Amino acid sequence: MSNPTPRIAIVGAGPGGLLCAAVLRRHGIHATVLERDADAHHRGQGGSLDLHEHTGQAALTTAGLRDAFLELSRPEGQEMREYDHAGTLVAHEDNTGEPARPEIDRTDLRNLLLDDLGPDNVRWNTPVRQTVLTPDGQARLTLGDGTTEDYDLVVGADGAWSKVRPVLSDATPIHTGNTLVETWFTDADNLYPVLARMVGNGMMLATDANDPTHVLIGQRNSDGSIRVYIGLKCPHDWAEQAGVDPADTEAVRVHFLAMFAGWHEDLLRVLRENEGPFINRPVYRLPYPHTWQHTPGATLLGDAAHLMPPAGQGANLALIDAADLATAIAGAVAEGSSLDAAVQGYEQIMHPRGATAAEESFRALEH
């Protein structure tokens, strides 16, 4: 006996939300994906992600997409070069033969998932403002235009500032004491050949052993462009405290050049020659372990459930959470068993996995 198909909403078309919808679709279950972005190309999706064999890649296998991922991915992107502040190469890991963690651009991953799901299966330009659980175990979403919709299950896949999380938990993100300021270079920039040599095929990290408060990170993307992150250990309002408007590129530049004084000229050129803006990205995390008492009608996956500092696990966990949840729901629908019990079973696996990874990521950031 099979259950009537439950009405499921997935809030957020990030990697987790899209993979969840794609796996459900493979089992013949339609889920409504609500995304605040105006369309698939609304904003750059950010840099490159390495997907791990037992989490991100395993999830793509569940979605039937691992081969397509391997075609798009860049094993050579695992190369890592470390420099000191004088520009001397101090470590070089050439992991290019290593199949476990190939890189993929976020945009390529989103397009892979959207192509599989069908872009029309996402309701773009549909921000969720509020979630409320009704006494009969259903969820009511209030959308940006003020209309409401009711579902049997709402999946919060809407990242750090989830609008679903408040019905399950009081936790809110806290600043980690770290901020990444992003900028980028293309092959049209004068600095590009120098930077491309330093970054190689993958990533570079430049540090000053005597002052760990600021670092430079470079990352090659699949179109050859190089994304740079200026990593700062600082309060969330560092710019305000320094009397700098974070939107004023020249003022930020002057501030960084003073901060990085004494670094090798090639590294300083990274701060001096970017043509685009500096984008301020404070790094937040949820307290860990972040768990909640199971409540019918809503659940969370990915960053909405266990936002952690970026140490290479967040997207991987979002994908494996999504695969596990979708598989559990599909099993319940096929067997005619309880949807609620299936969601609870997923949460029992996801909570400890997320807590362990969050603690590892937090510790990694402290070093």
Ligand X SMILES: Cc1cc2nc3c(=O)[nH]c(=O)nc-3n(C[C@H](O)[C@H](O)[C@H](O)COP(=O)(O)OP(=O)(O)OC[C@H]3O[C@@H](n4cnc5c(N)ncnc54)[C@H](O)[C@@H]3O)c2cc1C
CB of 32 to ligand X, least distance (A): 11
**Closest-CA residue to 258 (of 246, 270, 268):** 268
Q: Which stretch binds ligand X (CB under 6 A): 146-154, 257-265, 300-308, 342-350?
A: 300-308
Task: For CA atoms 270, 272, 275, 277, give the dihedral sign.
Answer: positive
Q: Is 313 in the site for ligand X (CB under 6 A)?
A: yes
The torsion angles phi and psi of 335, rounded to 5 degrees, stand at: -90, -10
* ∠ Cα 308 312 313 (to 5°): 55
Candidate list 75, 77, 102, 159; residue touching ligand X; CB under 6 A: 159
58: nearest Cα among 312, 321, 245, 264: 321
Pick from 8, 9, 15, 178: which binds ligand X (CB under 6 A)?
15
Does 282 contact ligand X by CB under 6 A?
A: no
302 scored as a contact of ligand X (CB under 6 A): yes
Chain positions 139 to 158 lying near ligand X, rule: CB under 6 A, are 157-158
**Counting contacts by CB under 6 A, is residue 318 touching ligand X?**
yes
Q: Quick one: 218 or 314, whose CB is closer to ligand X?
A: 314
How far the first Cα of the chain sits from its last, in Å, is 54
Tell me the two tokens of residue 78. 């695992």
| Smallest distance from ligand X to CB 49, Å | 4
| Contact (Cβ atoms closer than 8 angstroms) between residue 292 and residue 311 | no
Of 9-17, 166-174, 250-258, 323-331, the window that binds ligand X (rule: CB under 6 A) is 9-17
Decide whether 199 or 304 has the Cβ nearer to ligand X.
Answer: 304
Burial annotation 74-87 (CB, 10 A radius, 16+ → b, else e): bbbbbbbbebbbee
Stretch that binds ligand X, among 35-43, 74-82, 206-214, 238-246 (CB under 6 A): 35-43
Number of residues that bind ligand X (CB under 6 A): 31
Cross-strand partners of 133: 139
Query: Is 316 an interacting residue with respect to ligand X (CB under 6 A)?
Result: yes
**Residue 348 to residues 62, 110, 313, 351, Cα–Cα distance (Å):** 20, 28, 19, 6
Give the nearest distance from C-beta 347 to ligand X in angstroms: 15
Give bridge partners of residue 203 from the DSSP assignment. Answer: 80, 219
CA 184-311-103 angle, to 5 degrees, is 60
Residue 128 as a binder of ligand X (CB under 6 A): the answer is yes
Rounded Cα–Cα distance for residues 231 and 281 (Å): 10
Residue type (1 letter), 89: L
Q: How far is the CB of 169 from ligand X (least distance, A)?
A: 15
- Contact between 180 and ligand X by CB under 6 A: the answer reads yes
> Is residue 12 at the binding interface for ligand X, with CB under 6 A as the rule?
yes
Residues near ligand X, by CB under 6 A = 11-17, 34-37, 49-50, 127-128, 157-159, 163, 180, 281, 302-304, 310, 312-316, 318
